[in-house]
Structure 1
Amino acid sequence: MQMENFNDLAAFAVVARERSFTRAAAKLRVSPSALSQTVRNLEERLGLRLLTRTTRSVASTEAGERLLRTIAPRFEEIEAELAALSALRDKPAGTVRITAGEHPAVSILQPALKRFLPDYPDIQVEIIIDYGLTDIVAEGFDAGVRMGEQVAKDMIAVPIGPQMRMAVVASPAYFERNPPPQNPQDMTSHNCINTRLPTYGGVFSWGLEKNGREVKVRADGQLIYNSLSMRLSSALDGLGVAYMPEDQVLPYVADGRLVRVLEDWCPYFPGYHLYYPSRRQQSPALALLVDVLRYRSR
Structure 2
Amino acid sequence: MKRGELDDLVAYATIARTRSFTRAAAELGLSPSALSHTMRGLETRLGVRLLARTTRSVAPTPAGERLLRSVESAVEEVEAGLAAMGEWRGDPSGTIRITTSQFAAHTVLAPALPKFLLENPKITVEVSVDSRLVDLVREGFDAGIRWGNNVDQDMVAVRVGPNTSLIVVGSPDYLERNPRPQIPTDLDQHNCIVYRLITGGGLFPWKLERDGKEMRTRIGGQLILDDPDLAASLMMAGAGLGLILEQKASPHLLAGRLVRVLDEWCIPFQGLHLYYPSRQVTPALRALTDALKWKAPDPEQA
Q: Is the 8 A contact 2:207 2:267 kept in 1?
A: no
- Equivalent position amino acid for 2:142 in 1: D
Instruction: Give 2:111's aligned residue.
Output: 111
Secondary structure in structure 2 of the residue aligned to 1:103: helix
Structure 1 distance, partners of 2:148, 2:155, is 11
Please list, as runs of the form range in 1=range in 2, the aligned pairs for 1:164-175 lying within 5 A after superposition.
164-175=164-175
Determine if the alignment matches structure 1 residue 221 to structure 2 residue 229.
Answer: no
Distance change in 2, residues 1:231/1:114 (3 Å): farther
Q: Is the 8 A contact 1:174 1:238 kept in 2?
A: yes
- Encode CA deviations 1:122-159: one digit per residue, 9 max, x unaligned: 32222222233322111111011222233222211100
Structure 2 distance, partners of 1:139, 1:79, is 20
CA shift, 1:80, in A, is 7.9
Structure 2 distance, partners of 1:107, 1:224, is 26
Distance change in 2, residues 1:258/1:160 (3 Å): same
Please list, as runs of the form range in 1=range in 2, the aligned pairs for 1:39-188 lying within 5 A after superposition.
82-89=83-90, 91-188=91-188
Structure 1 distance, partners of 2:146, 2:80, is 25
CA shift, 1:249, in A, is 0.5
CA shift, 1:79, in A, is 7.5
Secondary structure in structure 2 of the residue aligned to 1:297: coil
Instruction: Give 1:288's aligned residue.
Output: 287
Structure 1: runs of 5+ lacking an equivalent = 5-44, 46-74
Distance change in 2, residues 1:140/1:214 (3 Å): same
- Encode CA deviations 1:240-261: one digit per residue, 9 max, x unaligned: 2120110001111112111001
CA shift, 1:278, in A, is 2.1
CA shift, 1:84, in A, is 4.2
Instruction: Give 2:263's aligned residue.
Output: 263
TM-score of the two chains, using structure 2 as the length reference: 0.67
Distance change in 2, residues 1:138/1:177 (3 Å): same
Instruction: Give 2:231's aligned residue.
Output: 231
Count of residue pairs the alignment pairs up: 227
Q: Is the 8 A contact 2:167 2:267 kept in 1?
A: no
- Equivalent position amino acid for 1:205 in 2: P
Q: Is the 8 A contact 1:169 1:235 kept in 2?
A: yes
Query: What percent of counterpart residues are identical?
Result: 45
Q: Is the 8 A contact 1:92 1:285 kept in 2?
A: yes
Secondary structure in structure 2 of the residue aligned to 1:138: coil
- Equivalent position amino acid for 1:235 in 2: M
Distance change in 2, residues 1:205/1:277 (3 Å): same
Question: What is the CA RMSD across the aligned residues, in angstroms?
Answer: 2.9
Structure 2 distance, partners of 1:176, 1:130, is 36
- Equivalent position amino acid for 2:226 in 1: N
Q: Is the 8 A contact 2:192 2:221 kept in 1?
A: yes
Distance change in 2, residues 1:204/1:80 (3 Å): farther
Distance change in 2, residues 1:98/1:220 (3 Å): same
Q: Is the 8 A contact 1:131 1:197 kept in 2?
A: no
- Equivalent position amino acid for 2:248 in 1: Q
Q: Is the 8 A contact 1:209 1:267 kept in 2?
A: yes
CA shift, 1:110, in A, is 1.7
Dislocated runs of 4+, deviation >6 Å: 1-4, 77-81
Structure 2 distance, partners of 1:290, 1:233, is 33
